[in-house]
Amino acid sequence: MNLVNRTSSPRVLLGGLSAQQFMKRHWQRRPLLVRQAWPGVEPPVSRPALFELCAQEDVESRCIEQGRDGGWRLRHGPLQRRQLPPLSRVGWTLLVQGLDLHSDAAHSMMKAFDFIPRVRLDDLMLSWASDGGGVGPHLDSYDVFLLQVHGQRRWRVGPPGDTRLVPGLPLRILANFEPQEEWLLEPGDMLYLPPGWGHEGVAVGGDCMTASIGFRAPTAGELANALLQRLADEIEDGGAAWPRRRFADRGRLAAEKLGEVPADLQRFARDGLARALADPEAGARALGGWLTEPKPQVWFPPGREGLEAGHGVCVDRRSRMAYDQLHLFINGEAYRVGGLDGRLLRRLTDEQTLDSRACARLSPQARLALEEWLALGWLRPYPC
């Protein structure tokens, strides 16, 4: 299905607000409801195509059903069509995560949100629901734009508060949800919610499709865990001389307390950790690498060998790219770049394309990197 982006202006998408006004007034602060944020919107994929996707091994999908007794049933994909309930059955929902990895239209839809740093972007999830279908009142740990693309959905929303969950359920459903606002969304309407706001969406009339564009907000613990793991891998692979310095305790007196950890060994360990954390470039490499790691289910089909004359490159929709002042990051790998190469590769990251004339200005080493990424399927020839 061909999706036409009719809302290239953030002011249309954000209800008359500029991107700067939205970020100042609403981002991570309070919800925003925009009527006809995306006039004439179409689903990025049809319902039959969505059902076909949920049967694939490399697609993350879930089917959620609510019984008449109030109980919930959760099944994870892959799910064949015969395993899904009939369309006429009320109270069930199909969720397909990471649709942008499998659909050019879904990937293009996310470009409307390019006023937010791309490393914050998680994915586009598309849900289909029969009449009354939903996933119960819950909260998310990320910023989300809920765009109605077909049918109707009623949303109830409440501010951060009681986070206790109903015990014994396969879903994280709030036990004491107290909504303060309620809206019925039509195709083209959009609701933005910051992290921690309770919400419940219920399909009205069936054949309801909602696109959820989520932006991750990692916790300090999650970041620390990821960075420490990456730093540990970098130390193990070699690098600076200090990691190979071995603990030595010549002249130690005979131990009287055999179970005690020696104080000099504690100091040696703390010094090693401090040296790893004190290297700003190593920390930057670890962060950029983690932020651009593809999701576990992502795989890249082999690409084209060599960069042909007259062709530039564009970033494959499955790739993640970012940069800082010294590095370029792509799919978890870090490359030190500078000068003209750095400026051109950062342009590729920002604009997602680099034309043939710009590619011709790259150094031989940078062109070899592009050819390697083409062969890996991380980039594609441009024009495609």
Q: Check whether 136 has a pLDDT greater than 50.
A: yes
Domain boundary among 216, 243, 265: 216
Sign of the Cα torsion 144, 148, 149, 154 reads positive
- Reduce the DSSP state of residue 101 to 3 states and report it: helix
Residue 330 sits in which domain range? 312-382
Give the pLDDT score at 374.
Answer: 96
Give residue 5's pLDDT band: very low, low, confident or very high (50, 70, 90): very low
Domain co-membership, 67 together with 181: yes
Residue 326 DSSP code: S
Q: Check whether 232 has a pLDDT greater than 90.
A: no
Contact 119, 12 (CB under 8 A): no
In DSSP terms, 229 is beta-bridged to none
Contact 301, 319 (CB under 8 A): no
> Cα angle at 126 between 225 and 22, to 5 degrees?
70
Give residue 243's pLDDT band: very low, low, confident or very high (50, 70, 90): low
How far apart, in Å, do the first and last CA atoms of the chain sit?
Answer: 19
Q: Average per-residue pLDDT in the chain?
A: 91
Weakest mean pLDDT among 54-63, 259-268, 341-350, 356-365: 259-268
Dihedral (Cα; 4, 10, 16, 18), 10-degree rounding: -170
- The total domain count for the chain is 3
Contact 380, 374 (CB under 8 A): yes
Give residue 2's pLDDT band: very low, low, confident or very high (50, 70, 90): very low
Assess if residue 295 is contained within a domain.
Answer: no
DSSP 86-99: PTTSSSEEEEEE-G
CATH number at residue 148: 2.60.120.650
Domain co-membership, 51 together with 198: yes
Give the pLDDT score at 304.
Answer: 82
- Reduce the DSSP state of residue 124 to 3 states and report it: strand
Give the pLDDT score at 296.
Answer: 87
Contact 328, 112 (CB under 8 A): no
Domain boundary among 216, 247, 267: 216
Give the pLDDT score at 242.
Answer: 57
Q: What's the pLDDT tens digit per position in 159-203?
A: 999 999 999 999 999 999 999 999 999 999 999 999 999 999 999
Residue with tokens 């929709």: 317
Domain co-membership, 157 together with 258: no
Q: What's the pLDDT tens digit per position in 247-275?
A: 788 888 888 888 888 898 899 888 888 88
Give the pLDDT score at 274.
Answer: 83
Give the pLDDT score at 19.
Answer: 94
Q: Check whether 4 has a pLDDT greater than 80.
A: no
